[in-house]
Amino acid sequence: MSALEKAFYSPVGRKVAAKAGLAEPPRLRRGRDFPRGPLVLAPLGPSTLVERTLALVGRAFEAPVVDAGEEAPGYGDRIGALIVDATDVSTVAELEGLRAVLRPAVRGVERSGRIIVVARPGGAGGGWEADAVARALDGINRTVAKELRGGATSTLIYVHQGATPADLVSTLGFVLQGRSAFVDGQAWHVRPASTPEASLAERPLEGRICVVTGAARGIGAAIARTLARDGAVVVAVDIPQAGEGLAAVANEIGGTALQLDITADDAGARIAAHVAARGERIHAMIHNAGITRDKMLVNTDAARWGAVVDVNLAAQMRINEVLLAPDMPGGMADDGRIIGVASTSGLAGNKGQTNYAASKAGVAGLVIAMAPDLGARGITVNAVAPGFIETDMTAKIPFVQREVFRRSNSLSQGGSPVDVAETIGYLIDPASRGVTGQVVRVCGQNLVGA
Amino acid sequence: MHHKVVVVGGNRIPFAKAGGPYAQASNHDMLTAALDGLVARTGLSGSRVGEVAGGAVLKHPNDFNLTREAVLSSALSPSTPACDLQQACATGLETTMYIANKIALGQLDSGIAAGADSASDAPIAVSDPLRRILLEASRARSAKQRIAAFAKIRPGHLAPLAPRVAEPRTGLSMGEHQALTTTRWGITREAQDELAAASHHRLAEAWDRGFFDDLVTPYLRVAKDALLRPDTSVERLAALKPAFGGPEGTMTAGNSTALSDGAAATLLATEEWAAEHHLTPWARIVDAEVAAVDHPAGEDLLLAPVGATGRLLARQGLTVADIDLFEIHEAFASTVLATLAAWQDEDYCRSLGLDGAIGTLDRARLNVTGSSLAVGHPFAATGARIVPTLAKLLHERGPGSRGLISVCAAGGQGVVAILEAV
């Protein structure tokens, strides 16, 4: 810790910082905890989709306070979350109904509370106005996320026609729980997937094989631990040089360690052989391993370019190809899950990271392209895009710059590796069948990468 | 009551030169790391394994119950029993046979054989007179008696005694003994340097092709065998000065093993246990034989495995031609060369009570991924290094492939074992 950093975090420093507007960031609710206050459900029409989904989540709900225009209305006590069923909203005029339930809730929601809007996506043949409204909801969601305080977040879920409460339950559960702590201002889609009806699971991955690359430390180790907590049998993969940390992670979670350079030609075959030896197939393949070789483009030579693009993008394409061969022993199971790890740097571009941005934006493109082709096998393909996450890697960024990065999002803090891990855990939940081809940012609504 | 015993995996930390990166690591630390890497690879965290047998040649008094203590420090279930064994440089092969025999007899369904040695962290003893004075002082009942005891200390008592790797009955170091053998068998400097260079080149090639990815786990930021010199050559080795056998000697630091630190472990089990734990058997333990020579009477200290090899092959009805791969521990390059010369020597073999010469070995089948000259030789670990290495090599060649391990040891002893791929 530098002298400047020590001074900043000293009691005097904290007071000065608070005066300067750099208040201590809110402590986020994490894990499987639901909001403490009551859940409020606001249906903006006859739809009972969200109501029936909440029944599967297993939570009671209350009626909303509606702003009728006389005086600024409010909730007596703080509420835990407002969930709006806006699936019947398709006209500009109907947006007023949304405003009327949001206004009291934005003021009344507790710390780390939730605003969740469930709506229909555009492009579904509802006409020009319906598509405009669908997009308007995105603008509302992003703005509400920026106005909320105390670690509360806002999320928009586009539910496609035909999706059932069973298709929606894992998503609604994830967003309500602390697992989604660092997912803010985001919108993604849930499609009909004939998901078997079941309540929200505590250990959704029980006994399933999940392969995590780059698992020796940082975000990868957090993914391995989180998936093991959810019941997964984890195959922890990392380069042989990282074997000591990898063994420690594998032993801690009762998984197995597989020392492997993912860029090797036989990497996919070796992963499959390891799983086949256990007489299993892969439920989830999480391509987390990644490297950086940052330089401004004027200084980026072919070696720096090639190494990053190969490790972060090409290697997982080669591995996927091997694991997706239907007759491959130890390959992907039907109803399996593939996860790529993108990055807000990739989505927004970042000075000095052309190679990294190419690879990470490429991951986003890859999952979107793969998803429809694998739908017939029930395999979903998604990506998470972490923003500023507190790891050994980001701890090396100079203090002032790090503090700026940390606070450049709606939650005024860096995320934890577990936040990325929890999002992946949600996406690979067997109940998340209807979520595919999505890129979910885990960035606290970072100012860049929107 | 005879169960098939299979080798299902192994792990070691990279070996390193004494006084190098593991200078601060104890036998306990390194053995624990070797066990933890094996547990992680095989997914046995929290599991009870039948028994762990390990050992070290250079042991501190605080290495009391070394293997059991390492088990308690490891990710294995604390209900895993353990014992220490020691047979000098053959310890790691002897622990393998101890566990294998118990499995064969049905006493265990699984076990880990291991070994560790730190030549860096070697115990240093005080002189015998000083030790006696200190013991007397500790027995003293009054300050006066204690002062009287301490008054007997003389400056000469204070010099610490480092351990010597010398034979107690001959006073000769192992290198000095081997120098006699080298001369007796007419082993040339060139042949020794060639063998040493080949060991380094073969080990480097094996590392490059990822052969050790599932046999080694990095330790203390060391990811590869630290003694390995991939770019060494016969020419470079030829430039080294003799280390043993006087000014005319042919044995150098380059063709003799360095004092090393390291630890290794191998997992043995019945086929049923391996299947239950989703582990692929690499090879079965076929048989083993121990032998000793009368080195105080002048016999070659490190050639005891020759007799063991002849007897073992005869018992199994096998010849050199029936064995696909050989692992002869490279205590010194000349030990391996003298061993091969002895195998071909009709008279010598008959003098050991064998029916005739053991045979001639095609060197392409010997130590194909390098051996102790390049890897290093932490005494007790070497056997537990070789067993999984050979088992994996045989598995790669396919079912029925056979391999023979020959390890010489201090005290004029040797252990030989045969493995066969399943």
CA A6 centroid distance within chain: 32
Residue A429 neighbours by CB under 8 Å, 6+ apart: A170, A174, A201, A204, A205
B7 strand-pairing partners:
B268, B283
d(CA B409, CA B174): 10
Look at residue A11 and tell me if it is in a domain: no
Over the range A348-360, which residues count as b (16 or more CB within 10 Å of their CB) and which as e?
A: bebeebbbbbbbb
Mean pLDDT, residues B328-348: 98
DSSP SS3 for B239? coil
8 Å CB contact between A426 and A205:
no
Q: Which residue of A has its CA nearest to B41?
A: A257
pLDDT exceeds 70 at position B154: yes
A356 belongs to the catalytic site = yes
Q: Provide the mean pLDDT of chain B.
A: 94
Cβ-contact A414, A357 below 8 angstroms:
no
Assess whether A154 and A251 both reside in one domain: no
Looking at A190, A221, A239, which one is the last position of a domain? A190
Query: Is the model's pLDDT at A450 over the cut of 60?
Result: no
The pLDDT of residue B129 is 79
Distance from CA of A382 to the nearest CA of B (A): 28
State residue B220's pLDDT score: 97
| Separation CA B264–CA B38 (nearest Å) | 9
**A404 and A370 inside one domain:** yes
pLDDT band at A3 (very low <50, low <70, confident <90, very high): confident
What's phi and psi for B48, nearest 5 deg? Answer: -95, 125
Residue A291 lies in a domain: yes
| A–B interface: beta-carbon pairs under 8 A | 71
Q: What distance in Å separates residue B279's CA from the closest CA in chain A?
A: 6
Give yes or no: residues A183 and A228 share one domain: no
Q: Is A422 among the domain residues?
A: yes
Dist. CA A441–CA A342, nearest whole Å: 9
- Residue B239 has, within 13 A of its CA and on its CB side, a CA count of 4
Boundaries of domain holding A240: 209-442
Given pLDDT bands bounded at 50, 70 and 90, which one contains residue A279? Answer: confident
The residues near B235 (Cβ < 8 Å, ≥ 6 apart) are: none
Strands B5-12 and A439-442, sheet pairing: unpaired
Residue B126 has φ and ψ, to the nearest 5°, of -90, 160
Instruction: Note the pLDDT tens digit of each residue in B187-244.
Output: 999 999 999 999 999 999 999 999 999 999 999 999 999 999 999 999 999 999 999 9
- Which of residues A190, A219, A241 is at a domain's end? A190
Query: Which whole-number Å values give the CA distances from A168 to A58, A204, A424, A426, A444, in the listed order?
Result: 13, 15, 16, 12, 23
A26 in a structural domain: no
Chain B residue with Cα closest to A264: B210
Q: What is the pLDDT of residue B76?
A: 98
> pLDDT for B301-332, tens place per residue?
999 999 999 999 999 999 999 999 999 999 99
The pLDDT of residue A123 is 87
- Is residue A396 packed enough to be buried (19+ CB in 10 Å), middle (13-18) or exposed (0-12)? exposed
Task: Name the residue among B43, B223, B278 with its Cβ closest to that of A241.
Answer: B223
Confidence tier at A9 by pLDDT (50, 70, 90):
confident
Please provide the size of chain B in residues: 422
In a domain, A450, yes or no: no
For residues A200-218, average pLDDT: 96
Position B1 pLDDT exceeds 60: no
Complex prediction ipTM: 0.88
Domain shared by A262 and A172, yes or no: no
Q: Are residues A128 and A218 in the same domain?
A: no
Q: Smallest Cα–Cα separation from A282: which of A408, A446, A428, A128? A: A428
Which residues, including other chains, have CB under 8 Å from residue A420's CB and lie 6 or more apart?
Answer: A182, A219, A222, A223, A341, A384, A386, A389, A442
Whether residue A378 sits in one domain with residue A234 = yes
Mutate to test the interface with A, among B41, B44, B216 (most CBs of A within 10 A): B41
Q: What angle do CA B39, B41, B42 make, to 5 degrees?
A: 65
Question: Cβ distance B25 to B261 under 8 Å?
Answer: yes
Q: Which amino acid is at B237?
A: L
Rounded Cα distance, B54 and B32, in Å: 11
Strand order in the sheet with A109-119: A39-43, A79-86, A109-119, A153-159, A186-190
Instruction: Give me the amino acid identity at B339.
Output: T
Query: What are the backbone angles phi and psi of residue B283, rounded to the nearest 5°?
Result: -155, 155
Q: Is residue A288 a contact partner of residue A212, using CB atoms and an 8 Å limit?
A: yes
CA B240 and chain centroid, separation? 26
Cβ B218–A260 below 8 Å, yes or no? Answer: no
Pair A157, A252 in one domain: no
Q: Are residues A44 and A155 in the same domain?
A: yes
Mean pLDDT for B64-76 is: 97
Establish if A213 belongs to a structural domain.
yes
What stretches of B19-128 adopt beta strand conformation (E)?
52-54, 82-84, 110-118
Asked if residue A145 and residue A220 are part of one domain, the reply reads no
The residues, any chain, with a CB within 8 Å of residue B419's CB and separated by 6 or more, are B7, B283, B284, B285, B286, B387, B390, B391, B394, B402, B403, B404, B405
The predicted-structure confidence for A334-351, as pLDDT tens digits, reads as follows 999 999 999 998 888 888
Co-location of A170 and A216 in the same domain: no
What average pLDDT score do residues B28-44 get? 98
State how many domains chain A has. Answer: 2
Mean pLDDT of A135-158: 97
Residue in this structure with the two tokens 């927004």, named with its chain if needed: A348
Say what the pLDDT of residue B138 is.
Answer: 81
Q: Which domains are present in chain B?
A: 174-210+286-421 (3.40.47.10)
CB contact (8 A) between residue A247 and residue B278: no
Ranges A163-172, A390-399, B277-286: which has the least confidence: A390-399
Whether A33 is covered by a domain: the verdict is no
DSSP letter assigned to residue A310: I
- Say what the pLDDT of residue A449 is: 57
Structure tokens at B231: 């770019």
Catalytic residue among A9, A75, A158, A356: A356
**A211: confidence class by pLDDT, cuts 50, 70, 90:** very high
A chain contacts of residue B37, beta-carbon cutoff 8 Å: 243-244, 247, 257
Q: Which residues in chain B have their CB less than 8 angstroms from residue A248's CB?
A: 36, 40
CATH assignment at residue A70: 3.40.50.720
| Contact state of A251 with B45 under an 8 Å Cβ cutoff | yes
Please give the backbone phi and psi of residue A8, each rounded to the nearest 5 degrees, phi first.
-60, -40
- The predicted-structure confidence for A44-75, as pLDDT tens digits, reads as follows 999 999 999 999 999 999 999 999 877 777 89
Residue A18: inside a domain, yes or no? Answer: no
Residues of B at the A interface (Cβ-Cβ below 8 Å)?
A: 33, 36-37, 39-43, 45-46, 75, 210, 212-214, 216-221, 223, 278-280
Banded model confidence at residue B162, pLDDT cuts 50, 70, 90: low
Our CA-based measurement puts residue A422 at a distance from the nearest CA of chain B, in whole angstroms, of: 24
- pLDDT digits 0-9 by tens, B395-406: 999 999 999 999
The per-residue pLDDT for range B170-191, each reduced to its tens digit, is: 999 999 999 999 999 999 999 9
Do residues A390 and A362 share a domain?
yes
Instruction: State chain A's mean pLDDT as an integer.
Output: 94
Whether residues A257 and B40 touch (CB distance < 8 A) is answered with yes
Look at residue A169 in the predicted model and tell me its pLDDT.
98
Please give, rounded to a whole number of angstroms, the shortest distance from the CA of B154 to a CA of chain A. 48
Same domain, A231 and A186: no
Element (H, E) at B3: none
Output the pLDDT for position A1: 63
* In chain B, % of residues over pLDDT 70: 98
Q: What is the per-residue pLDDT for B164?
A: 62
